[in-house]
Amino acid sequence: MKKSLLALAAMGAFAGVAHAQSSVTLYGIIDEGFNYTSNVQTAAGAGRSGQHLYNLSSGVLQGSRWGLRGTEDLGGGLKTVFVLESGFDVNTGRQGQGGALFGRQAYVGLSSQFGTVTLGRQYDSVVDYVGPLEAGDQWGGYIAAHPDDLDNFNNANRVNNAIKFTSANYAGLTFGGMYSVGGVAGATGRNQIWSLGAGYNNGPLVLGAGYLNVRDPNTSFWGNVPSSGANPTNNIGKVTGVQSNPVISGFASASSYHVAGAGGAYTFGAATVGLTYSYIQFGNLGAANVAAPAYRGTATFNNGEINFKYQLTPALVLGAMYDYTRLADFNGHGGGHYNQGALGADYFLSKRTDVYLIGVYQHASGTDSTGQQAVASINGLTPSNANHQTTVRVGIRHKF
């Protein structure tokens, strides 16, 4: 149960001055489960025979986390708001998001009847307005997200140093934007990130659209901490350890990254059908001094998803999805193709505890971003040694 704490009236030098009432809420999610994954690439690389992997993992359906959310009424319809949210791994107790204490979210701002302005580490507009329409954000978890979450619909990457506006709700319509300052003296545009988006949610119809523009993405977006080193690490598509996802890791030398996305969903009784589309561009390849293939020009992806959700009973949700990702021809290489399907079932034991089953299959063909024969690479997992990969997860989630 969420616990609301009423702040005591401050006792200070200004005796008799009335202090506004404020509230702080402690909340969290613990998500844990058992996985089976086929054809996992060994440390020796794609040339070695793949092995089946059985393991426990945390935060697949939703990232395991704890957080504090608070407001203070300043009067006249104005409020102070803040969120501090920390991710963690249930199996080891380690902090998530590269060890950042509040790596999921950390912001403070002001809210009024017109909207909310916040400053800190936050989500971009594609995540806010389009992300909830993909299957991964609903019942499929990050393993059902698009390959390597290449459009960030599943919120694999947050934005530091962000100034964000979110409008009030106008009869189901909301909109907003975000700008992240690069913080580099004499180079205003370096590491700069900005995004815009809008959504409509009224009755059975939900719509969303968003655009994300990132400068120096290998450091400002995937790296999370801008690096001025002579030879920065290839951060794009990082999975675990030193492994990188070959779907996009070959494009780490790009000086820009753009995502344009849109989606919609319509509910018919107990059934909901959804569609999403995204266009992804890695621009000016070769501009960044990163250990990556010596490409020039631009690489582009197109991604389309159709998903289905059915509320079989008040406690049981069933889901299915199909996703297609295409890497266009680049630098004389033929493009790559990724076909992915997923099925899921989520059963609620109570309002706060549920058990779930997710299965994902991916098939790859053509050439990947590294210029090699494409291999299957389900999001968040070690890539396959072959052109196909399957993962099945049984998990439990508890919210408090």
- Which CATH number characterizes residue 82's domain? 2.40.160.10
- Asked if residues 60 and 90 have their Cβ atoms less than 8 Å apart, the reply is no
Question: Is 193 inside a domain boundary?
Answer: yes
What domain range includes position 216?
Answer: 3-7+19-399
Q: What is the mean pLDDT of residues 176-198?
A: 91
Query: What are the DSSP E strand ranges found in the chain?
Result: 3-6, 22-40, 51-58, 65-75, 78-87, 105-112, 115-122, 159-167, 173-180, 193-202, 205-215, 256-268, 271-285, 297-313, 316-327, 336-348, 353-366, 388-399
- Asked if residues 105 and 123 have their Cβ atoms less than 8 Å apart, the reply is yes
Give pLDDT tens digits for 356-366.
999 999 999 99
- Asked if residues 363 and 376 have their Cβ atoms less than 8 Å apart, the reply is yes
Question: Is 217 inside a domain boundary?
Answer: yes
Query: What are the DSSP E strand ranges found in 269-335?
Result: 271-285, 297-313, 316-327
Residue 241 has pLDDT above 70, yes or no: no
Residue 349 has pLDDT above 50, yes or no: yes
Give pLDDT tens digits for 106-123.
999 999 999 999 999 999
Question: Is 157 inside a domain boundary?
Answer: yes
Phi, psi angle pair for 315, to nearest 5°: -105, -15
- For 151, half-sphere exposure in the C-beta direction (CA atoms, 13 angstrom radius) is 36
Residue-level pLDDT at 47: 46
d(CA 399, CA 397) in angstroms, rounded, equals 7
d(CA 234, CA 230) in angstroms, rounded, equals 12
Residue-level pLDDT at 43: 64
C-alpha 132: how far from its chain's center? 10
d(CA 20, CA 220) in angstroms, rounded, equals 38
Give pLDDT tens digits for 144-165.
999 999 999 999 999 999 999 9
Neighbours of 280 (CB within 10 A): 23
- Asked if residues 337 and 367 have their Cβ atoms less than 8 Å apart, the reply is no
Give the dihedral sign, CA 381/384/387/391.
Answer: negative
Which of residues 174 and 50 earns the better pLDDT score? 174
Residue-level pLDDT at 46: 46
Question: Is 12 inside a domain boundary?
Answer: no
126 to 195, 198, 210, 351: CA distances (angstroms):
7, 9, 5, 29
308 to 271, 274, 383: CA distances (angstroms):
7, 6, 27
Q: What is the mean pLDDT of residues 72-86?
A: 97
Residue 225 has pLDDT above 70, yes or no: no
Total domains present in the chain: 1
Q: What is the mean pLDDT of residues 280-292?
A: 90
* Res. 289 pLDDT band, cuts 50 70 90: confident
Q: What tokens does 284 get? A: 């000016």
Mean pLDDT check: name the lowest of 17-26, 67-76, 101-110, 268-277.
17-26
Question: Is 13 inside a domain boundary?
Answer: no
Give the dihedral sign, CA 21/115/352/35.
Answer: negative
* Res. 227 pLDDT band, cuts 50 70 90: very low
Q: What is the mean pLDDT of residues 173-189?
A: 89
* Res. 231 pLDDT band, cuts 50 70 90: low
Residue-level pLDDT at 243: 55
Neighbours of 152 (CB within 10 A): 28
Neighbours of 350 (CB within 10 A): 9
Question: Is 95 inside a domain boundary?
Answer: yes
d(CA 332, CA 365) in angstroms, rounded, equals 17
Question: Is 304 inside a domain boundary?
Answer: yes
Residue-level pLDDT at 395: 98
DSSP assignment of 109-154: EEEETTEEEEEEEE--HHHHHTGGGSGGGTTT-GGGSSGGGTT-TT
- Asked if residues 387 and 364 have their Cβ atoms less than 8 Å apart, the reply is yes
Question: Is 14 inside a domain boundary?
Answer: no
- Percent over 70 (pLDDT), the chain: 89
pTM, to two decimals: 0.90
* Res. 291 pLDDT band, cuts 50 70 90: confident
